[in-house]
Amino acid sequence: MDIEAIEDFEFEPRMSDADALMWNIEKDPLLRSTIVTVFVLDRSPDRERFTENMERVTRVVPRLRQRVLGHPMSIAPPRWEIDPNFDLSYHLRWMKAIGQGTIREVLDIARPIAMQGFDRARPLWEFTVVEGLADGKAALIGKVHHAITDGVGGMKLQMEMLDLEREPAGTGELPPVPEPRNLTEGRRWIDALSYETIRQTEAVRGLLAGAPREARALINDPVGVISDLLDTTTSMARMLRPATDPLSPLMRDRSLSVRFDTLRLPLQPLKAVAKIVSGRLNDAFVAGVAGGLRRYHQHHGVDVELLRMTMPINVRDDETARRAGNQFVPARFPVPVGIEDPIARMNAVRELVAHQRAEPALSLSDPIANLLNRLPASATTGVFGAMLKGIDFVTSNVPGAPVTIFVAGAQIESQIALGPMTGAATSVVLLSYRDDVNLGINTDPAAIPDAVAFVEALRDSFDELLKLV
């Protein structure tokens, strides 16, 4: 891909409130936000080319050379600053596979990588190349902190290290190395105060500019204005409502461990299934996961009607599409997993998701994050722990490349995205690539000790859906 495309992205010198919130709540390790992606390659990438390409990318994408610097007493979000000790070799690792060189073994290699916290004094990403897989294949394990980007943004940034051809044309000279512009402690305080002053001034100006319009609306339609205000207030209460106990009577324990699995499904048939209910791919995906959870509970002789799900809702628009960082709101709501009929289950999911996308509080996610960030870190962590530790499962749907892509001469055969659970029993991420989708299945062994049975339950559920077309 053209590396110059990234130059249109906006990389702010400070975290957004949403990014800072994910950074701050890691005081509780159960709430870590680590994204792992496994690329299965048809051969080992050329080491020299890959290293040179990543050197180029880190010079163009600021986040890959930046560390996070904040202060517990500062009212402003932490700053992104160039790491003066940046060492590319720390972030790029190479290893040989052991055993039979299967994908199962690669996923097992990725487990401890995912469970290790980031070195907060360095940029928040790592790549590990695993060579020596069966049939001459290799794998690339990518690890990035969620504070850098969400899944959709991550796919855009990821393309900067990838090619559309196995042997692309040369990229020319390397761009210059970014110069560190690190601030002294005193200057950092002044910068934070200036940042907050400007932000609060702009907020006040916005309120004053909108005051005449709001006053006219209140005069012309007082009932409507009050109704909208009540709807927004109620929506905010739903967004922040504590949920400390899982709805599942089975998947209740939590730990810091993970297990990774994957399923591959055909993309177009799954889209065709969703069209049966005039829905989207995401409706069939969530309905399939819900059906798998029902089957897994039945496998253990437990009936369950509702399970609480977190699903990121993308809030990008034309104005913010090229802004780096996270642009999603984590919607939490009960899903009727007990519906046996797959079409009825998809319909229920479609209606629920549409309702969540229309929540008035979605537009207030940044102000809410700003408010929470002003609390002491322990209080913010406690609030989010109360919101997230009662989640049963997480789903996320990420669109990937529709064409074949390469990395340093190696063709990518499949991609598996493994999202953070942040207190849930399992996270299932759908990532499309060419004509397939891969489900990245992350489970907590304390909640789901028999992951093989869980994966089979998911497989049976999606097979049931695909038989509809």
Active site residues: 146
- Residue 1: which of 154, 138, 158 has the closest Cα? 158
Rounded to whole angstroms, the Cα distance separating 67 from 79 reads 8
**SS3 breakdown of the chain: % helix, strand, coil, rounded to 5?**
45, 20, 35
Residue 369 contacts by C-beta under 8 Å, 6 or more apart in sequence? 16, 17, 18, 20, 21
Rounded to whole angstroms, the Cα distance separating 194 from 121 reads 25
Rounded to whole angstroms, the Cα distance separating 233 from 360 reads 9
The one-letter code for the residue type at 240 is L
Q: Cα 171–162–34 angle (5° rounding)?
A: 130
Strand arrangement of the beta sheet that strand 406-407 belongs to: 92-96, 125-131, 138-145, 34-41, 410-418, 406-407
Torsion over CA: 62, 66, 68, 74 (sign) = negative
Region for 408 from its dihedrals, namely left if φ exceeds 0, alpha if ψ lies in -120 to 50, beta otherwise: left
What tokens appear for 332 in the block? 């939490």
List C-alpha distances in Å: 380 to 24, 31, 373: 8, 12, 7
In 399-462, the DSSP E strands lie at 406-407, 410-418, 426-433, 436-443
Q: Which residue has the tokens 């990937």?
A: 400
